[in-house]
Structure formats: C-alpha cells, structure tokens
Structure 1
Amino acid sequence: MRRLLLLLVLLAAAGAAAWVRYGLPPRVAIALATQGMALEAVYATGNVEPVNLARIGPATRARLTEVLVQEGERVAEGQPMARLDDRQARSLAAEAEARARFAVEDLARTRTLVARDITARTSLERAERDAQAAEATARAARQRLDDYVVRAPMEGVVLRRDAEVGEVVDTPASLFWVGEPRPLRLTAEVDEEDIARIRLGQRALLRADAFPGRAMTGEVAQITPKGDTVRKAYRVRISLPEDTPLLIGMTVEANIVLREAPEAVLVPPAAVVLPPAPRDASPTAPPAPPPGATRRAHLWVVEKEVAQRREVEIGVQAPRSIEIRRGLAAGEAVVLNPPEGLRDGMPVRLEAETAP
C-alpha cells in the first residue's frame, strides 16, 4: 500500500512538472483599443511671403549712386527707387544726338541740291536712310538712359532693401522687395510622391519655431502644375488668415490634412503584426500599396483569457498608435508584442493592462 501511494505521488509530481514545462499558458501583456483622432497628413516646409510681391533689380550693370526710398515706405508704380552711374551712357546718348542732328541737317541740304538739279536723286535716298538710322540710334540711347533708374513695377510697401550707395550691382541682384504686408501665404514644397493626394481647400496645420506650442492653420490655395525635376517636388501655396502671427520670410512646417477620423479605433504599434515586405522585385510582383492606402495586417485579441487571431485593416500609422479601420472595436483587449508560437484559441495568462 505504501508503495502504491509513493508511486501515485511520483506520477503526480511528474505530471505537474510536465505541465509547468509544456502546458503552462504563455504570459502576455494586453492593452485596450481606444477611440481617438487619427490624422493622415502630408509633410512640407516652406517660407512665408506676401501674395503681392515683386523683386526689383537693376536692368544693367553699374555702380549705385543714389537710394531714394527706405524700408517701410509706400511707393507708387513707376516711382524711382534708386539711380545708377549713367555718365558713360549720357556721353553715348549725347554723341548719338549730335550724329542725328548732323544727319538731319545733311538731309535738308541734300534735298535743296536735288531740287536745284545739282546732285543726283540717289544721294537724297542715301541721306534719308542715314538720317533715319541716326535718329533711331539716338532714340535708343535716350531710352537706355532709363535703365540707370530703378523704378517700382507696382504700388506697395518697400518690404526689404538690399541696396547701398557705392556698390556695383548687376542684373541678378535683388535691390528691393515691394509688396503688400497682407494677405500672406506659405509657399511650400511637396514631394512628388505625395502631390497627387493634395487638393485645393485642404486644411494645413502649421508650426513655426518662432511660436512654439501655438496652433496655426492655413488652406491650400494653389498647386503649381509643373514640378521641379531636380528637387523632385511641387510648389504648393497655402493661404494664411489675416490675423496670422507669422512674418514675411519665416520658415514654417506644414502638415496638409488628407483625412481626419475623430472617432478612430487606435491600438499601440506593438499590437499590430505587419506582413513581411515582398522579396520578389520582378515585374510580376504585386505593386506596393500607394501612400495612404489601407493595408492588411493581423493582431491578437484576448477574450476570456483565450487568444484569437484577428485580420484587420490599418490606416494611419503614428509613432504612438495605429489606426484600425476594420476588424476591431474600441474596448477590445489586444496582445502587445505577441510571443512566438502563439496560436489561435490558445489560453494565455494576462499581465496588467497597459495604456496605448
């Protein structure tokens, strides 16, 4: 009898050891799926500029002799803003004027001689051509003098001046910026991979280092039809409200909102098991999903301490949460960092819940 009891005790101990080693349910950490805002956006950076703005430079290379306006001053269209050294151009104009006068006088004398039959009529035709050419040269020289006066191409405020007397300036230089302080816009660059998703009227969330923590918005107002083939980007202009605190020239980060889901189902990234990237790069391989498209994945849901594999569709992927667009409801418990060997219907032991 004692041997029988000892054998039963040994068998029970062996069974318990086997259960501990092979049959103990795995321990898993879980989190509850929550509801919150899912925001899908395209990132861009740009600079603030007036809607009405003109960059003004010289029409010719010369030394700057006089600056006639200051920053903040309002100018009228055509108003002189600066003068360049035109002494050589004036000398050439004076010479051309003198040649034109001589040609006109020579034409008058030739007409008199032809009228008296003293010279041939061909001389009159030659004199007329010479007079016309001399007058055209003088007229061009007079017009060229205006190139030495920098004029405002539009009415507005002098927003910036980069002109100092004595500098030698050339045509690529920007001496003045003239425009209206309001309204303002943000001119940003959007990568060519994302431009097809941008539409007029989309809201943009803005951030500037000059105003940390301040929420600012804008609206897509214009999309440039042609992109930059070197930078592989398209120019997008975002209109700013009249009361914007942003200043002309500031660098601003923009998130152009593509989709907002205020009651989206969210789970921690550790709960989602994404499918492996395809290794086959052959032409017959399925194309990668376009940006913003829903993707299929799976996760593990725990019900009554039993793990169940759940196929889901995911949307926005953020650093702290992933949107589940289909296949899961808010409040369901999901497994974080699912252990290897987890199978559908397997019992599990639960750890304390963790907030997503």
Structure 2
Amino acid sequence: MKVVRTLLFLAALAGAGAAYWSFSRPAAVATVTPKRGDAAEIVYATGVVEPRTWAKVTPLLRERIVELCDCEGAKVERGKQLARLDSAQAEATLAELKARQKLATAEIERLSVLIERNATSQQALDRARSEVGQSAALVAGQTARLENYVLRAPMSGVVLRQDGEVGEIAEPGTVLFWIGEPRPLRVVADVNEEDIPQVKAGQKVLVKADAFPGRTLEATVDSITPKGDPVAKTYRVYLALPDETPVLIGMTVELNIVARVSRNARLLPTNALQGDAVFVVEGDVARRRELKIGIRGTSEVEILSGLPEDGRVVAPYPERLTDGARVRAAGG
C-alpha cells in the first residue's frame, strides 16, 4: 500500500513539474529584421479613356430624324451636316410669318399713298411700320430656329461614334455623335477627397486595363479640377497618355498614382505591426515598441525611427504576448 502511495506521489510530482516547465518555457516566436528597398505611396483610382479634344453633338428639339449621315469613323470638317430633323411644321410657320410680313409691307405702301393725299393719318402709317418691324423680327427668329433642325459638326475631326437611326425620335440631350481626334488620349479619373491632397501635376501613374492583362502602362497627372463633387466626394483628375499607349477610347482602367517614393527605405512586413507598435526581441525578452512609420504599403511599411538597424521584430504580431515576456526563436 505504501508503495502505491509513493508511486502516485511521484506521478503527481512529475506532472506538476512538466506543467511548470511547460508554462515557464520561453514562447517560440519567428522574427524578421528590417530590409532596405524602395517604398511608394500609392493613390488608387479608376478612370475612363477619352480623347483630349472632342465634342458631343446633341439635338435641342424633340423631333423625328429624317436624314443621317453614314460617317462613323470618317473625317468631317467643322460645319458639315450630320443629321436633319423633321422641320415641316417649323417651315410652315416660317411661310406664314413671311406672308404676314409681305402683307404688312404692302399695307405701308398703301398708307404712304393715302397720306400723300391726306386721306389717312401719320399714326396709321407708323403703326403699319411697327407691324412690319415685328414681322421681320419673327421671320428672323423662326429662320434661326430652323437651324436647330440641322445637326452640324462643331469641330473638325473623326466621327468617333454615331447613334440613332432615320425614323427614330431624337430626344434633347441625347448624344447622337461623338467627334474628336483619336490622338492624343487622356484618362479622366475620380479621386476620393481624402486622397486628393497627395495628388500633384507631373506625378507618374501606373495604368492597368483588362484588355491588356499582365501589362502595366504609364501615364502622367496632367491637371486636377479645382472644384470637387460634394455628393460623390471626389475630384476629377486628368492624366496624359503617351501616343504609343494601346488603350482605346471608352476603356475603363485602374490607376495607381505614385504620390511619393522613398528610396533605400527600411521596410518591415505589415503583419509585424499592430498600428505603430511591434515586439522587438532583446536577448531572450520581447519588448513592445512604438515606431515612427512613413509610407504604408499593402505588404510592407517604411520605418522612420524607433528600431535599430539590426533589430529583431516578432512577425506576425503576437496578440497574446506581453511586454517583457521571455521568448525564443522558433526552432531554437
């Protein structure tokens, strides 16, 4: 019986020793040291490719299309007729106004003869002249309105796109023609208002388009619209594209605007940090340190100060580790 108690006591003592050794043993951690490389601060945006010089042609009236040029992709000169809307009713109105003007003019001639014979008053003649002037103004106005039934090219260039068919009703504001020069091209992008302070004219931009997978194109920030959109909370940014860029008008692209580059920077992986804090291994103890961070990337961050050049940082960041805890390198 005594032998059994002794064995149980020794087993319990061994278990307690094993538990103490397990809990007092330094935690195994993996460490990294800062490396040198270039860090870039990137502003992300999306945009649409468009010509630098172009114009939209839209009707001002709601009327049926009766003529339409077949000129998509063709070169046109400024003032060339592109389409004509049904103007029969407007022309009838003009004919009526001209008839009234003719009648009023004849009335002036009649009254002029009568006034020489003292058969009418000067007031009647003046009234007739006033009516002629009004008729002339109405004729001129209606003649000018007839021009709204003809859609002309507002500039010389290529018809980039043409919509609508003869017989369809053209609605005011609906774009029927896009006219411009195929080159040079630019990208119009919308940048969030919190990022716009970092964007400046002349910055390099990396452009990616789904039509060219695996290929990164380049652009340059050309200008920024001074007033932003308070609803969307964005600012419009124009990017200049080189002439040899293969993208086409109307393509959507993803943009990485290089706001700032830090050369030969000290870099740490982002998973080693929680906010600005890291755990640094000093001997066999882990110490929590607050660092001064520069550029934050998706995979790495720039360390400005707070960490020795050869400092060993626990990575990934240990959530359960306490400041001053004993540690050992994994596998050590």
Using structure 1 for the length normalisation, give the TM-score: 0.83
1:80 and 1:191 map into 2 onto residues whose CA distance is 41
> Does residue 79 of structure 1 match 2:80?
yes
- Counterpart residue type for residue 144 of structure 2: Q
Rounded Cα–Cα distance in structure 1 between residues aligned with 2:228 and 2:322: 49
- Looking at structure 2, the residues matched to 15 and 82 of structure 1 have their Cα atoms a distance apart, in angstroms, of 95
Contact 1:28–1:339 (8 Å) recurs in 2: no
Q: Distance in 1 between matches of 2:152 and 2:16?
A: 99
Letter in 1 for 2:278: L
Q: Match for 1:311 among 287, 290, 293?
A: 290
Distance in 1 (CA, whole Å) between partners of 2:126 and 2:278 is 97
Residue in 2 aligned with 1:93?
94
Partner in structure 2 of residue 279 of structure 1? none
1:328 is aligned, of 307, 313, 319, to 307
Counterpart Cα distance in 2 of 1:13 and 1:163: 90
Q: Distance in 1 between matches of 2:266 and 2:29?
A: 21
- In structure 2, give the amino acid aligned to 1:167: E
Aligned equivalents of 1:52 and 1:231: distance in 2?
A: 26
What secondary structure sits across from 1:64 in the alignment? strand
Give secondary structure in 1 for the equivalent of 2:43: strand
Is 2:320 aligned against 1:340?
A: yes
Q: Provide closer, same or farther for how the CA distance between residues 61 and 18 of structure 1 changes in structure 2, counting only shifts above 3 A.
A: closer
Which residue, 253, 266, 281 being the options, matches 1:302? 281
- Following TM superposition, by how much is the alpha carbon of 1:13 offset from its aligned partner in structure 2, in angstroms? 7.7
- Answering whether residue 213 of structure 2 is matched by residue 233 of structure 1, we say no
On the 8 A contact 1:265/1:329 being kept in 2, the answer is no
> What are the residue-to-residue correspondences of 1:156-167 with 2, within 5 Å?
156-167=157-168
CA distance in 1, matches of 2:331, 2:191: 44
Q: Distance in 1 between matches of 2:73 and 2:330?
A: 66
Q: 1:157 and 1:21 mapped to 2: Cα distance?
A: 79
Deviation at 1:133, TM superposition (A): 0.7
Query: Aligned residue for 1:43?
Result: 44
Q: Supply the distance in 2 between the matched residues of 1:24 and 1:59 (Cα, whole angstroms).
A: 83
In the superposition, relative to structure 1, how do residues 15 and 94 fare at CA in structure 2: closer, same or farther (>3 Å)? closer
**Aligned counterparts of 1:228 and 1:314: Cα–Cα separation in 2:** 32
Give the Å deviation of 1:196: 2.3
User: CA deviation digits over 1:113-161, x for unaligned, max 9?
Assistant: 1122111110111000011111111111222221111001111110000
Following superposition, the deviation at residue 339 of structure 1 comes to 5.6
Q: CA deviation at 1:257?
A: 1.4
Shift in Å at residue 320 of structure 1?
2.4
Q: Cα distance 1:325–1:140, how it changes in 2: closer, same or farther (>3 A)?
A: same
Q: Provide Cα deviations, 1:236-275, integer angstroms capped at 9, x if missing partner.
A: 111111111111000111121111123222222232132x
Q: Do the aligned partners of residues 323 and 352 (structure 1) sit closer, same or farther apart at CA in structure 2, a change above 3 Å counting? A: farther
CA contact (8 A) 2:41 2:297 kept: no
Contact 2:60 2:173 in 1 (8 A): no
Contact 1:265 1:328 in 2 (8 A): no
Q: 1:352 and 1:329, CA in 2 relative to 1: closer, same or farther beyond 3 A?
A: farther
| Mapping 1:169-188, distance limit 5 Å | 169-188=170-189
Tell whether the 8 Å contact from 1:305 to 1:347 is kept in structure 2 after alignment. Answer: yes
AA matched with 1:320: S
Return the offset for 1:198. Answer: 1.8
Question: Letter of the aligned partner of 2:292 in structure 1?
Answer: E
**2:214 partner letter:** G
Distance 1:333 1:136, change over 3 A: same
Provide the secondary structure at the position in 1 that maps to 2:167: coil
**Structure 1 residues not aligned, in runs of 5+:** 1-9, 275-296
For the aligned residue pairs, the C-alpha RMSD in angstroms reads: 2.3
Q: SS at 2:131's partner residue?
A: helix
Letter in 1 for 2:328: R
Decide whether the 8 Å contact of 1:56 with 1:174 is kept in 2.
yes
Tell me if structure 2 keeps the 8 A contact 1:302–1:333.
yes
8 A contact 1:200–1:221 mirrored in 2: yes
Aligned match of 2:5: none
How far is the alpha carbon of 1:33 from its aligned partner?
2.1
Secondary structure of the equivalent of 1:252? strand
- State how many pairs are aligned: 320
> Is 1:149 aligned with 2:150?
yes
Q: C-alpha displacement at 1:166, in angstroms? A: 0.7
Mapping for residues 225-304 of structure 1, pairs under 5 Å: 225-274=226-275, 297-304=276-283
Cα distance in structure 2, aligned partners of 1:25 and 1:343: 13
Give 3-state SS (helix, strand or coil) of 2:29's partner.
strand
Residue 228 (structure 1) shift = 1.5
Task: Report the more deviating stretch, 261-270 or 237-246.
Answer: 261-270
Counterpart CA distance in 1 for 2:34 and 2:127 is: 96
Percent of aligned pairs sharing the same letter: 44
Cα distance change, pair 99–18 in 1 and its aligned pair in 2 (3 A): closer
- Residue 174 of structure 2 is aligned to residue 195 of structure 1: no
Partner of 1:67: 68
Structure 1 residues 84 and 332: CA distance shift in structure 2, 3 A = same
Q: Distance in 1 between matches of 2:78 and 2:14?
A: 101
Code of the residue aligned with 2:330 in structure 1: it is E
Q: Which moved more, 1:314-323 or 1:89-98?
A: 314-323
CA distance in 2, matches of 1:18, 1:71: 83
Q: Counterpart amino acid of 1:109? A: R
